[in-house]
Amino acid sequence: MIKKHYEKEIQISGVQANGSANNNKEDVMKIQSWLNLFARTNPASGTSTAIDSAFGAVTEAAVKTIKRRRTNLKPVRYALWPVSQLFDGSPY
């Protein structure tokens, strides 16, 4: 059974990036929440970040960490999938 009532919670409206004027504050907070959720289940991951709606250097570093580890993610990987699309062309 596919549970769809969480879809709105895990979707972001578009690409969010460090310093972008087009960032959606709610989407950035979702990403930061996902990063912190991942950090709680993977304490040594280095993905913990403030949930402040500002996509800065710390959030960017945490996203890159997720991208490097995405093949080994625990079940939270489905919520983090949009995060892996943030830095197109990146080697992470």
Over the chain (92 residues), the average pLDDT of each successive run of 10 is 68 87 92 91 90 94 84 49 48 40
Cβ burial, residue 24 (10 Å; 0-12/13-18/19+): middle
Instruction: Determine the pLDDT at residue 11.
Output: 81
- CA dist., res. 44 & res. 54, Å (int): 23
Instruction: Determine the pLDDT at residue 53.
Output: 95
Tokens of 29: 């907070």
Confidence (pTM): 0.70
Range of the domain at 66: 23-85
Q: 92 in a domain, yes or no?
A: no
> How many domains does the chain divide into?
1
Q: 60 in a domain, yes or no?
A: yes
Instruction: Determine the pLDDT at residue 75.
Output: 45
Instruction: Determine the pLDDT at residue 73.
Output: 53
Q: 44 in a domain, yes or no?
A: yes
Q: 38 in a domain, yes or no?
A: yes
Q: 91 in a domain, yes or no?
A: no
Q: 4 in a domain, yes or no?
A: no
